[in-house]
Structure 1
C-alpha cells in the first residue's frame, strides 16, 4: 500500500507549487490526493480488500467441538443399589432447585416433566455404569470452560437408613457454578461438596452433603473440521483483487517513484526544488509556517540546538497513534475484567492467576453478552475478529511513527558522516 501512493517527482513539484507538503518513505494517507488516479484506485482496492481478510480469513476453515449440556443430580448411595426404589421415591417426592409450582411462563411445566422423565428412564438405570471419580477428579473435570468428555453427573452421598435424601437436580450448561457457595462468588474453593442441593426445601430441612464420590457419564468427544463457503469465497475474491492490483501497480509504478529517502535525495540533487530554496537552515515547523504562507526566507543566526526524534513527527500523527494505543489498551482491559468476573462467578479466579495457568497453552475464559445468544455464525466471526482490524491499524500507525523517527535519524546522520 505504501508503494501504491509513493510519489513521483512530478507529484512533488505539483504539490510544492500549491505549497502542500508530502511524505516520502513513510506510510501516509496525505499522499493519496497527490498521486495519479490509477495509483489512487490501486491503493483503495488494496485497502478495501484488506478489511474482509482481517475479519474472516482465520475463520474460513475452523475446528468445532461439541460441548455438552448436562444435569447434576444428588443421590443417596442406596438408590444406586436399588434403582426401583429411587424411581418410586422420585415419583412420590420430587425436589429440584428452582422448580416453581406457580410458574406461569409457557413450557415450564412441560420442561420440568420432561426432565423428570429423562432422569427416571435414563439416568437412574444407567448411572451405576458411568465413570467413578473422586470429588477432586470430578471438580477438575467439570470446572473447565467447555465440557467435551462427559455430561450428566451424579453426586453420590453416603447412605442413610432410611434414605432421607431424594434426587435434587440442577440443570446446567457446561458451567461449574453449582460447585460454589451461593453467596460467595469470590470464594476460590469450588468443589462438588459445595453443590447447592436442598436449598429452599425447608420441609425436609436438607442441607448440602459432602459426596463420597461422583458418577460421570462418559461422552465421546465430537470434533469437526468445518469449511464456511461464504468466507472461502470472500477470501478468494479478496486475494484475487489484491493479486491483480499488485500486478497492475507493478507496471504503473515501475522505475518512477520516490520510494525511499535516498531516492528523494538523488532526485533533488539532480534537479533542485526552487520553491524551497533558502529554507535549508530552518527547523521543520517554522519552515512550514513560512513556506505555506509563501513568505520569503530570512537569514538565520546559527545556533547549536538539540532535537529529539519526537520533533520529527507531526502532532496529528503523534496524537492519533496514542489515541489508537489507548483504545486498544482499554478494550484489552475491558475483556480482562469480563474474564476475571466470569472466572470469579465460576470459582476459577485463584486458578486463573496461579503460576501454572500461565504455562497452559489452551487456558481461556469464555465471555459474552446475552444479546449474542441468537447471533448468527457470521456475526460472531466478525465480532471475534474485529480486534484484528484494530491491531492492524495500530501496526500501520506505529510503523509510520517509527519510520519517521528512523528517517530523521538517517537524515541527521548525513550531516555528521559522509555517506556514499
Structure 2
C-alpha cells in the first residue's frame, strides 16, 4: 500500500494520473449538471431536449462541429483510461523478481497480456479489465448524446377556397362549409365558437394577407399537390397551402357559395350563424385551419400523423395511395370533404352544421394549388439519458484512476528507464551477473541447480564470444504480429469487396 498521495509532491506518471483524475472529475460535474438541466426541461430523463432549430444546411454544420468536439472530448477521456491501463499493466519490482524466479519474462513500457494474466496482482487485473469495459462505449455514448432530426415535423395553414378568393372577393369565416377549425379530428387545430367570435376580425386580416401573397406562391397541379401534402416527407420544401376548388360537377369556375345554397339550417342555428356568415352573401372561402405534420417512429420506419388529413379527403390510410378521383385517376383530385353526412361537430354551442347538403357540395374538384416555398427546418437535440450514461462512465474511470494512485507503489516500473534504474540500484537475484542474458537464454531453476551440483558454470555467468548477426528491420516484430495484422487486413478487404463482386450478387439473387 502506497503512502498518502499529495499532488504537489507527485512526479512522473503519478502527476499525470492526478491531473487526469482532476480533469475527469470536472468533466463529470459539468455533465451531471447539464444532465439535470436537460432533464428538468423535458420533465423526463428519457425524453429529448431540442436546443436549436433552423435551416437544415446550417443545422448540419452545427451538428458536424458539435460531434467533432464531442469526439475530441471522448478521445481525451479514452486516453486517460488507456493511461490508467498502462500503469496497471506495469509490474512492480517485487512482481518482476517473482516472475524471474519462475523463469518468466516480464515486459516493461508496452501493453502486455502476458503481464496481465501471469505477473500482475488480482487487483490490477480486475481494475484493468474494468477500465477496458468502461472506456469502450465512450465514443458511442458521446456521439449518441447529441443528434439531428432531418424531419422534425412542420406546421402550415390550409385554405380551401374558390378562385375569386385570390382576387380579393368577399369571404366570411369559418367559410361556406361552416366547419370550425378542428370541429372533428382530422380538420386541423381546434378553435371553438367563442374564440372564433372574439378573433374573427384578426383571422379575417390573416386570410386577406394569405390571399394577397398567395398569388406569388408556387403553383402545383393537383397530382403534384396531393403528393407533396398528403405524404409525410413530400412537402419539406413547402409550408402554407391554398387549394383552389370548384364544386364537383359544376361547369365553369365556381365563384363561391352562399350559406342558403350549401345548408338547410334550422331557424335557431340560422340565427346563430347570421352573426358570422350571412345567408345569401357569396362566400369565396370554403374552409381554413392550422395544420401540423409530425414524424414519429412506427415498426422500425418513420411514419407521420397529419392533423388536416380529413379536410383534404383522407378518411382512410388507403386514400393516400389510391386514386382520389376514380374517373380521372391520379391526374385530377376530387376532395371528399366529409366521410359521412353526419359529421356535425360540437352542437352544444348552437353553431350546428346539421342540414349540410352532403350529396351536392361534399365533393370538390381541385383546380390547382398554391404552395408557399420554404426551406426545410431541422433540429439539434440532446438526450439526457446518453449524457447520464457518459457521466457514469467518466465517474468510473476517475474513481479507478484515484484507486491506482492510492494503491500503486513507488517501485512500479512504468518505463524501461524505471527498470534500468531499479536493476542498477538493486540487482535481481535470479539474473545477477548474467551480463549477456537475452530473452532466448531463459534457464529454468531445475537446470541451473543441476548444473551447479555437477560443478559446471553457466555460460551466462561467464564471458562468451560476441557473434555479429545480420538483423532485419522486420524481425523487430514477431511473426505472430505480422500474421494477425495481415490476416485482419485481408479479412477487412474481403468484407468490402465481396458485396460488390459477382459472387456476392449471385448469392443475394439465389437467396431472393
TM-score, reference length from structure 1: 0.43
The higher radius of gyration belongs to 2
TM-score, reference length from structure 2: 0.36
